[in-house]
Amino acid sequence: MSILSVENVSKTFGGLKALMSVSFSVKQGEIYGIIGPNGSGKTTLINCITGFIKPEAGKVYFRGSNIKGWPAHKIARAGIARTFQVMRPYYSLPAYKNLIIPLWSPRARAIGGWRGGGRHGDRDTVAVDILEEIGFERDSRVPYKMASTLPTGYLKRLELARCIALRPEIIFCDEVFSGLSASEVAGMVPLIEKLKMEGITLIMVEHRLKELFKVADRVMALQFGEKIAEGHYTEVIADPRVKEAYLGSEEV
């Protein structure tokens, strides 16, 4: 039973065809990778599914209901969280306060059992718990630092923590590995696996193929807005069109 299935989603910007009839489906608890060279429409695909831009055609089924055309906040409320490729923390707030916002949302409130307002206390504790889970040292000052002073590695984690706080069923990760050092990525991989163990479905758009292939169950390749291959990563990289798309640009 697939939790999310995307059927023939298309999007054009002016004359540019960003997505041409892309279809795929993801099973519950799976890690699904999306790869492709720059400009192949990966982020556009995420934006279309999560409602940040409206696809022109196609259908997006989440647990059997068509969520295409829903506003972004409603899709998030249904249980689809996402990170942003260009990190978007709340720079004027301390790291743990960043999580108050998703924890305040109707979805997290319903699942977490908070009613109405609630001040500090509860949510702050949960926020620090989530940060600890994602790799912020609880006893250090890091969770209490201003988001604007945190290094990239922590910001990427914070981005993921914001998704976790929403208690989602699916998380779209838009290049969470990019910009990180090899050791930082090595620290992220167990995190991803842990989320999978918890039953969360992950859809990862990634340029760091080596790391992605370690965790992904299935991979899809996009080029110029078209799906060119799908399957286990060994099959995908063996595909001649994928090879051609990546030739010289990326080591596999």
Partner 1 sequence: MEVRRKERIDRGIKVRSEGIYCVSSPKEMLYVAGPRLLLIAGLLLLPLVLEMAPYWKRVVNIMCVYGLLAISFDFLANVVGLVCLGGAMFIGVGGYMTAIFNVYLHCPVFLAIPLAGLSGALICTVLLLPCLALRGVYFAIVTLMYPLLFTRIIEALNILGGTNGITGLDSFPNPYLENYVIIVLLLIFLFGLRRLMDEDIGLVLRGVKDNDQSVRASGINVAHLKALAVFITSFIGCLGGAYLAHLYMWAGLSLFALDFSIIPIAAVTIGGGGSMMGAVIGTFILVPLSEFLRFFGTFRIVIYCLILTGFIVFRSEGLLTYFARKYDQFERWAKI
Partner 2 sequence: MDILVYGIINSVTLSLLSLGFTLVYSISRLPNFAHGALYITTGYFIWQFLNALGLNYPLSILVGIALTAFIGAMMYRLILIRIRGMEISEIIATYAIGLAIIEGLRWGGLRGSTFTLPSFASGSRVILGVSVDDQRLLVVVVGFAVFALLYFFVHLTRNGLALRGIAQDERAAMMLGIDSDRMAIVAFAIGSSLAGLSAALILPLGNIVVEAGYNVLVFSVAVSVIGGLGSWPGAIIASFIIGFAQILTEKFLSSHFQMVIALLAIIITLLIKPSGILGRQKELEERV
Residues 132-171 that bind partner 1 (CB under 8 A): 144, 162, 165-166
Phi, psi at 129, each rounded to 5°: -60, -45
Q: Considering the complex, what minimum distance in angstroms separates the CB of residue 93 from partner 1?
A: 7
Q: Considering the complex, what minimum distance in angstroms separates the CB of residue 209 from partner 1?
A: 26
**From candidates 91, 231, 232, 241, binder to partner 1 by CB under 8 A:** 91
Q: Which is nearer to partner 2, 143 or 225 (by Cβ)? A: 225
Q: Considering the complex, what minimum distance in angstroms separates the CB of residue 188 from partner 2?
A: 27
Full DSSP string of 33-83: EEE-STTSSHHHHHHHHTTSS--SEEEEEETTEE-TT--HHHHHHHTEEE-
Which of partner 2, partner 1, none does 26 bind, CB closer than 5 to 8 A by kind?
A: none
Q: Considering the complex, what minimum distance in angstroms separates the CB of residue 47 from partner 2?
A: 7
Stretch that binds partner 1, among 85-93, 149-157, 211-219, 230-238 (CB under 8 A): 85-93
* Residue 152 near residue 89 (C-beta atoms within 8 A): no
For the chain, give the longest Cα–Cα distance: 57
Q: Which residues contact 204 (CB under 8 A, 6 or more apart)?
A: 31, 32, 33, 34, 172, 173, 176, 192, 212, 215, 216
One-letter amino acid at 190 equals: P
Binding mask 30-59 for partner 2 (x = CB under 8 A): -----------------x----xxx-----
Binding mask 47-66 for partner 1 (x = CB under 8 A): ---x-x--------------
One-letter amino acid at 43 equals: T
93 makes contact with partner 1 (CB under 8 A) = yes
In angstroms, the CA 53 to CA 32 distance is: 22
Number of H helices, E strands in the chain: 11, 10
Could you tell me the two tokens for 219?
């991979």
Binding site for partner 2 (CB under 8 A): 13, 47, 52-54
